[in-house]
Amino acid sequence: MSAVEAKDFMALEDTLLCYSGSSETLQIPEKLQGHPIRAVGIGALAECGSLKRVIVPEQIQRIGNEAFSGCSALETVVFKGALPSFSPISSTAARTCGCSRSTGWR
């Protein structure tokens, strides 16, 4: 498992746009570039084949369409706060990555 570094992320204001690292466990950062992260953008973690576990911090309010699409190794998504709002397609994206109901997907 590799370490997660700030250079592995791209954000625009309060939205995580992408992650380019190869870690098995990812804690979505609470802040990037001085801005609190409140949303995971469309496809932000898509095709991260090495991800097995994602930890979503409490302040995340929205998760965009296909945010986890193609994350074939993803087993667990932990929500530290309330379940964020999802776009209608996001539940489909969760099924295509192999996530089960036990991961918090509804």
Q: pLDDT, tens digit, for every residue of 7-17?
A: 899 999 999 99
Instruction: Check: CB of residue 42 under 8 Å from CB of residue 19.
Output: no
- pLDDT-flagged residues of the chain (< 70): 1-4, 87-106
Domain boundaries, position 72: 6-103
Main-chain phi, psi angles of 93, to 5 degrees: -60, -40
**pLDDT score of 23:** 93
Instruction: Note whether residue 13 is domain-resident.
Output: yes
Instruction: Note whether residue 69 is domain-resident.
Output: yes
Q: In a 3-state reduction of DSSP, which class is residue 94?
A: helix
Predicted model pTM? 0.77
Q: Residue 27, exposed/middle/buried by CB under 10 A (0-12, 13-18, 19+)?
A: middle
**Average pLDDT across the chain, whole number:** 81
CA distance 86 to 38: 13
The CATH number that applies at residue 20 is 3.80.10.10
